[in-house]
Structure 1
Amino acid sequence: MSTARVVRSGPIRFAVAERFALPRIVPGGQPAPTGDICPQAPSRLDAVMGPPHDRPPQSEDCLHLTVTTPTTSTAGDAHTGRPVLVWLHGGGFSSGAGVLDWYDGGALAEEQDVVVVSVGHRLGALGYLVLDGVSEGNLGLHDQLAALRWVHDNIARYGGDPGNVTLFGQSAGALAIRLFMSAPSARGLFHRAILQSPPLSIAARPLTEARATGRIFADHLARLGADPRTASAADLLTAQLHTATEVQRRTGNFLAPPFGPVADTDPIPDGTGDLDTHPDVPDLLYGWNADDMSAFAEGLRDSGSVHERTSRTYELPLTTLADELRRHGGQVHGYRLDWRPPGSPYGATHCVELPLLLGTPEAWKDSPMLGNLDWPDVDRLGRRVRAAWASFARTGDPGPLPAPLVTVGRTSARQRAAETPR
């Protein structure tokens, strides 16, 4: 996207990696003319979001990002540069890509005078397989860390301030951010965090469970006569689908994907992390959508009404995390989104906030979760939400949240102390 007021640079190849190998950063980046995305099957949320209208090629050369910035850049001056918001997309660690038009940061950059970076990384088995002699797992997290290092080293050239970086992400992207909040290797690479609807209970699976899943995956590939190191992308995706079905049948968990971050594996040395060992707790804005779980079928381990399942999966774990961060002195702000677009059968569902922050009218055209709303109605609310997100990125305070965002929890340890009677 390029207009008189904003430029979307890229796709930029920020790193390269052989299959099941750690990424190697490309200094300065390289143009990635076709903007390939990681091999993936259609998203399980296509019925809710609609499938993406843009269909980039799929290949393992997928470590690409885009940078969207206002054209009147303060490039080269890290002290006067704009706040940087780095987007990590959702998709259950198995679908999506930062280069998709859903995640165009043009409106956010233009309206709020910020720099927006959107990151792609390896997904599914390519990003998270644990199998002896093949892969130790968490390669997708390493890809995202490589992107953050690239941003730190290069974003001043795009008018951004490497000393003021906010990570914002939804669902799986928010889970990755939660893990980076406690990862020593991420320290200093970002300064604030926005978590949108992360199902924290599946942030990182035990290493023993990941190894068992890896063996199931290898068995399914063997039935296809393939080896994970040399198999075609089509065979990898077929084995991944069979693995997901088998793991779901064994566990009764319909929410967790078969492949995702693994605890006790670099860069997550101790599961979701021990905040006592991480003094650089960032400012946090967190929240969920009132009907998040309307996007997902009931499972044997997660039954009940949409409200009950949403509370168990999102509200209660996020509230616990917020309280923990406040105890460690973090500046914490919480929200609940109650926006239910008219004509949508899903209500305030998972992903419904995305068009309020990112993307173009064409990218979100005919999205089922938006019901029969016209884009000007979506954009009217989106302007207010984008202003709150940018205010948080700039100062650590989103300010008064616009309806239908509802403030939840106390705003900060500092305010709580001020409110305590002496």
Structure 2
Amino acid sequence: MPPHARSRIESDLPGDQAAGKPAPQQPAWPDPGLLDEVQRELLNRPALVPAEESAHLADLMAAVARREAVALQGGDCAELFEDAAPSPVHRKLEQLYDLSATLREQLGMPVVTMGRMAGQYAKPRSSDWEHTPGGEVLAVYRGDAVNAAEADAAARVPDARRLLAAHDCAAATLKVIRESWQGRADGNRVFAAHELLLLPYELPQVRADPEPYASSLHFGWIGDRTREPDGAHVALAASVRNPVGVKVGPSTTAADLVRLARILNPERRPGRLTFIARMGADRIDPLLPPLVEAVSATGIPVAWISDPMHGNTTKTGRGRKTRSVQAILDELTAFVRILRAHGAWPGGLHLEMTPEPVTECVARSADARTAALNQYRSPCDPRLNAEQAADVVDAFVALLRAA
């Protein structure tokens, strides 16, 4: 079996604020020389995203922080290279534009729309290994930017050249995204967002224009597994001007969140920082209120949005991951109620979803043990299908209007 991933990032890339800091969730790249070559190639490639586009998104997110707009983030759990073609991208964009239109028309306010697109090619994992139904132990699939989903030992070996393929696929997807902007007002565009996870991919793409910004995306978030205040991922996010987010899970303390707010938004800029709550329906009530109170007490402007997906993952009787739509709605309901009760704005949704007619999420938790999930296409986590995603958006509208 290959060695575990390096726990710290060592890099001589220009302006690398993450060097020497703890860096969890990094693959065990087997060829350091190849990895260095790939990073140099990424360093010399053109920026995927110009600084002015990220700055524009920050202005739009400032309206969410000021309670003048809502945000919608949505898309695949993990993008596949094979989907970086006009037809699949158009279908995903159409879903996002349709859901945003529902929010805008029903709430009568602007909607800031971001897709989990053009870079969501890597995933953090709870284990380095997985057991196949046949009993074989394989390195876990970490996304197309790292290895292949095929249940084969050779396919699961991390390959640094996949980082270049990820860049190519992101460029192709961004081309289609920008084409979709034509004829639309600035506030009705879909922007590209993904998790700031693979540091050998992200760090070489930091550009100075004139201040450092992450040129791989418009908006990047730090996952719940990589949000250590002294870690490399937070250092990267703190060093760039893009709007950024942090996933806030059940283990987050008030002290953690206050410290992150101060590190990531020291200038107190509205639109700079978003906290994305992903607690789970059965844990959000006791856990989220003290966090909202602590952040509010700092006076640092943040946007709060709900990720009701990741805290509500369970398994079927066959061991396949699924999520209950009812649990998703329960967490969303609690999120809106808690934010309102503490004088804060429940500013939006972060959903894993697809326009395809999949059966990856069940209606109720009680259905999970016996669910067959015959149309399961995600290589990683379960997504809402089009009808389920629309139901969640409709529920969010109803909750805001009732409040």
TM-score by length of 1: 0.36
Bigger relative CO (Cα 8 Å, ≥ 6 apart): 2
TM-score by length of 2: 0.37
